[in-house]
A and B are shown apart, each in its own frame.
Chain A
Amino acid sequence: MSTKDSRFNRVAARVGLNTDDVWPSVVRERLLAYGLLLLYVIVIWFPIYYIFITSLKTQSEVLTIPITFVPQEPTAQNYIDIFRNRPFEAYTINSLIVASTTTVICVTLGTMTGYTFSRHNFLGNKALLLSIVAARMIPPIALIVPFFQIMSSPPLIGGLTGNLTDTRVALILTYTFFNLPFAVWIMKNYFDGVPRSLDEQAKVDGCSTWEAFVKIVLPVAKPGIAATAILAFIFSWNEFIFALVLTRSEASQTLPIAVSLFVADDFVDWSHLAAGGMIAALPGILFGLFFQRYIVSGLTQGAVKE
């Protein structure tokens, strides 16, 4: 870590600055880190800024040349239009119902199963856990054919449900495919970090296994549950491929599909697309700003090895 021959100093010397005593190396490193991070953040946020201002521009301004990087007459008209002229209300409701139902199912099952994997040795638990991890590696896209066939005529329950394509139920069932193994895995890792003495003490105090789990351990596991719920919600909210395969009409189409519908073969309605895109991106941005800690911990828990 000699500071004499650092590139910064060489450059500084060339322009006749003597920075040796003014800038200790630690400060210089910090400034450099700040500079690089700031540059990176500006570069990656520029497209988000640009799609945002596109959503506030009039249609004519979107097509004017030279391009404006600040909207000349910002308007909310695009947002009003998509809710008035297109069934965006239905799309938003579909997205909300599908994402929240999937989240509830995955968090409930994932929490129970994750806890048992963490605490109990039962027959074949290693093999089961391994297969749950392996299930996460299956490329969902490889399964569009079977899922399409299954949802068109569901086996066993088909007599009750009939054809499930173009229903929210089909999307909910399909989305548990990505999220349930993930939820089990995150929760198991989370419970592994909760001391066993907690449940044992509860049982000594006369709690049943169920009571120890529900009353004592669950409250402690709230952060893990929050992380699982947020990730499951985001994954379901953003999913596109299966929605593309399994939906036909506004009865079940979700926001990602709605946004892609603005693209026609020869023409894209950019200002309205941008408004729709901002609506679709809203939960993600809000979650990112307020629950970043949970997203990070959930992803990390979900990715760690043994």
Chain B
Amino acid sequence: METTEKSLRRTLDRLFVPLTVGPTLIWIAAIIVYPTVRLLWSSLFWMNPLTRETEFVGLRNFKRLLLDPSGTLGVLNPSFIAFTKNTIIYVGCSVTFSFLLGLGIALLLNKDLKGRGWFRTAVIVPWILPYVMSGLMWRWMFEAKNGAINGLLVQTGLISEKIAFLSDGTLAMMTLIIADIWVFTPFIVIILLAGLQNVPEQLYDAAEVDGASRWSRFRNVTYPFLKPSILVALTIRIIFDIRALDLVWVMTKGGPGKSTEVWASWLYRTSMEFQRTGEGAALGVIMLAVTFAIVAILYSIFGGTPYDS
């Protein structure tokens, strides 16, 4: 008895690595690798939505998305240009503003204040709420007739006419960006706050003694230590915003017209509403490539550690 138990224990120990890593790898292969391969595969096929028959079409899906329907060589598809522009505006503005705001709040929270924990909790909550609820909440805030924003502006006498925020392309984009900033600033705050903990106190004191200005202290003491966190925060924010459909879908559905249609909503519409799964998959492949390219670019800009020698 004793020996069998011992040998069993030894066998189990020898199998420790395969037993702890194996299930996860199989799971990841099934749920991540396989769908990704299937995505690449689907992007080369056309599927008849009615009969579900597929036909190999090579790169035709990509051509349809990227190039002008008339087939003129070298002319891009106008929809592609428009939606790409919307995506860049949406991601660019959201990330820039939420980053600056988040940096400011993180610097304030990094001070040795009483009640800091309470403030931190209050600042973080927006990020934990379901995006759908946040999106609909902002849609309600900006509602033309009964929305709180119009109510505040009119009832305090700042404007005389209520503004139909969500019926105007530019304003609708603005409301989307505001909602996005509201949702994601906490994330930036958390990441940067963690980075600020790495700055050695003595350096601050030394800079203070030297009489360095506030800006020069930030530039020469804080920034070098914060760089890795900035890289992480920006990377994650950008790649998350490119893929984010929740807010757009519940706030504007890409409207009015197509003025807030971004890649994510375009992909969803193409795949699910129009059932053009091949083109949807092709758009997914483009998104995947762009995401990895952006990560590579960011790492080449910000890569490296503080005071790299």
Contacts and interface: CB of A to CB of B under 8 A. Distances in A.
Interface of A: 1, 29-30, 33-34, 36-37, 40-41, 44-48, 50-51, 54, 62-63, 65-67, 69, 109-110, 112-113, 115-117, 120, 122, 128, 132, 134-135, 137-150, 155, 173-174, 176-177, 180-181, 184, 208-210, 213, 234, 237-238, 240-241, 244-245, 255-256, 259-260, 262-263, 268, 270, 273-274, 277, 280-281, 284-285, 287-289, 292, 295-296, 299-300, 303-305
B146 A62 contact: yes
B245 A259 contact: no
Contacts, number: 275
A173 to B, nearest CB: 6
Interface of A is mostly: helix
B155 A113 contact: no
A280 B132 contact: yes
Given A177-B31, A305-B231, 10 more contacts: A47-B148, A116-B20, A128-B21, A135-B28, A259-B136, A274-B140, A288-B124, A288-B125, A300-B190, A304-B228
A50 B281 CA distance: 40
18 contacts: A30-B113, A37-B108, A41-B122, A44-B185, A63-B146, A113-B24, A120-B16, A122-B17, A146-B36, A146-B42, A148-B277, A174-B31, A184-B24, A255-B130, A277-B130, A281-B129, A288-B128, A303-B236
A135 B172 CA distance: 33
A180 B42 contact: no
B269 to A, nearest CB: 11
B15 to A, nearest CB: 10
B67 interface: no
A1 B208 contact: yes
The listed residue with most A CB atoms (<10 A of its CB), out of B27, B133, B147, B239, is B133
B46 interface: no
B182 interface: yes
B137 A142 contact: no
Contacts of A305: 228, 231-232
Interface residues of B, number: 95
Given A65-B146, A66-B155, A237-B130, A288 B136 contact: no
A51 B137 contact: yes
B187 interface: yes
A98 to B, nearest CB: 13
A63 B126 CA distance: 26
Given A1-B211, A240-B132, A281-B133, A116 B36 contact: no
Contacts of A65: 145-146, 151
Given A34-B113, A137-B239, A142 B245 contact: no
Of B109, B140, B151, B193, the most chain A CB neighbours within 10 A belong to: B140
Contact of A181 (B9, B13, B32, B182): B32
A201 to B, nearest CB: 17
Interface string B66-82: 00000000000000000
Nearest to B151: A67
B254 interface: no
Contact of B191 (A147, A260, A284, A300): A300
Interface in B287-302: 287-288, 291-292, 295
A145 B277 contact: yes
Contacts of A241: 245-246, 249, 268
A277 B24 contact: no
Nearest to B280: A145
B177 interface: no
